[in-house]
């Protein structure tokens, strides 16, 4: 299927209105296709035919997502006209706007059910999108959910409140266990999960531990399957570059391996919002070893399959004013809402890279994966308010007398 056929792309002498109309038709078709799934049920894993037989793979997935998510042309601020930009709306995967997490959780929930689990455990930051998505998915599947959330030392001693993702966590009845950032750094997420697992087992529960971000070898299949979805929508070599925000590494791992195994032909760019480039290369190689996708089998390692970029700025979940301004600019010019921790930071860093090296990006066809995270913006409301009030003050309407 050609790029023009897939997305309803129009020629240069046709109107923007026509292009927008065709994009909306594609979106409607995506919704209709999604409605044919039997939601909240276990089904045979829908995996691409191009996966090699030696790859360790799951047999089931739990239907959670609204797929396929739409792809459409996008003209964000600060991107030169000689860069052809598209966006894949994985913020619209469903499950209360759970973004890229839905794709991973389809396989992780199925694995938990196969093991007879009655409880999910996972871990993340106090405003973790993944933890909120897991809390929602657990309720869909009839499972209990325990969240280990890292917070500042002072805040961890008090009730965490109900702002942003925390409101959804608590509305869905998730059990919240706070740890300090220092405790998390000292003990590590894996051991903290195992500690809570043992406590729950002693109470007669059957817990299943999901790692940070759902990024393990099983979760990787979420974006191996998404690679096939992109191929179905666009065909091979439709895009020269595919961009995603990289936090825990699982989304990037799936896209990069899928790109390599399918022959999709894109360069995968991972904009890391925490840690450094070497960490992500090494972590993703570790996931590939668990899948038996080692360099001797596929001919390359993570460093040859993707390009890791630095996008963490002042630190994980710490936003600089210019990053927040980018989020505002994108919203006010295109209507696309980014969160400030993942997609917003990644897009800001990408835009700076394009400014720094316009020669590389000229003539490229870029697909930006919007991974979601809307609820996290509410925790940044005070900072957003400061910047918005500068140019978008609220005014009292003077009502004319009759």
Active site amino acids: 128
Q: How far is CA 112 from CA 138, 149, 315, in A?
A: 10, 21, 33
147 DSSP β-pair partners: 122, 176
Two structure tokens written together for 347:
């897009």
Q: How many residues does the chain have?
A: 402
DSSP string, 217-272: TTTTHHHHHHHHHHHHHH-TTS-SEEEEEESSSHHHHHHHHHHHHHT--PEEEEEE
Two structure tokens written together for 331:
């919203």
The angle, 0 to 180 degrees and rounded to 10, between the axes of the packed helices 321-334 and 381-391 is 60
Sign of CA dihedral 18, 23, 29, 35: negative
- The whole-angstrom separation of Cα 148 and Cα 170 is 13
Tell me if 107 sits within 8 A of 61, measured CB to CB.
yes
- The whole-angstrom separation of Cα 207 and Cα 145 is 9
- The whole-angstrom separation of Cα 48 and Cα 228 is 6
């Amino acid at each position: 299927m050609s790029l023009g056929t897939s997305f309803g792309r129009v020629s240069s002498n046709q109107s923007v209105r026509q292009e927008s109309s065709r994009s909306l038709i594609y979106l409607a078709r995506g919704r209709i296709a999604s409605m044919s799934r039997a939601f909240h049920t276990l089904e045979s894993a829908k995996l691409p035919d191009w996966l090699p037989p030696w790859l360790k793979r799951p047999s089931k997935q739990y239907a959670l997502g609204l797929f396929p998510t739409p792809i459409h042309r996008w003209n964000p601020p600060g991107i030169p006209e000689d860069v052809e930009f598209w966006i894949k709306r994985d913020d619209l995967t469903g499950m209360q706007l759970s973004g890229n997490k839905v794709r991973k959780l389809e396989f992780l929930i199925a694995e938990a059910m196969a093991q007879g689990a009655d409880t999910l455990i996972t871990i993340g930051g106090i405003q973790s999108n993944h933890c909120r998505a897991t809390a929602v998915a657990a309720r869909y599947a009839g499972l209990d959910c325990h969240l280990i959330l890292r917070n500042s030392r002072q805040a961890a001693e008090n009730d965490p409140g109900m702002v942003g993702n925390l409101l959804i966590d608590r509305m869905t009845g998730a059990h919240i266990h706070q740890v300090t950032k220092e405790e998390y750094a000292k003990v590590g997420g894996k051991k903290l999960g195992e500690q809570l697992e043992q406590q729950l087992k002693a109470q007669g529960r059957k817990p299943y531990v999901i790692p940070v971000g759902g990024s393990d070898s099983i979760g990787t299949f979420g974006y191996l399957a998404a690679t096939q979805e992109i191929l179905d929508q666009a065909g091979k070599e439709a895009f020269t570059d595919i961009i995603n925000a990289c936090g825990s590494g699982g989304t990037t791992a799936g896209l990069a391996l899928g790109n390599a195994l399918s022959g999709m032909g894109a360069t995968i760019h991972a904009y890391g919002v925490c840690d450094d480039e070497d960490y992500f290369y090494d972590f993703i190689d570790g996931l590939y070893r668990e899948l038996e996708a080692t360099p001797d089998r596929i001919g390359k390692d993570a460093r040859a399959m993707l390009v890791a970029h630095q996008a963490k700025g002042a630190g994980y979940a710490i936003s600089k004013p210019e990053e927040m301004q980018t989020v505002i600019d994108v919203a006010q010019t295109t209507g696309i809402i980014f969160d400030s921790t993942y997609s917003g930071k990644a897009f800001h860093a990408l835009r700076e890279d394009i400014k720094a090296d316009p020669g590389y990006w000229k003539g490229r066809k870029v697909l930006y994966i919007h991974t979601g995270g809307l609820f996290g913006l509410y925790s940044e409301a005070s900072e957003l308010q400061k910047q918005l009030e500068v140019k978008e003050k609220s005014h009292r309407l003077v009502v004319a007398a009759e």
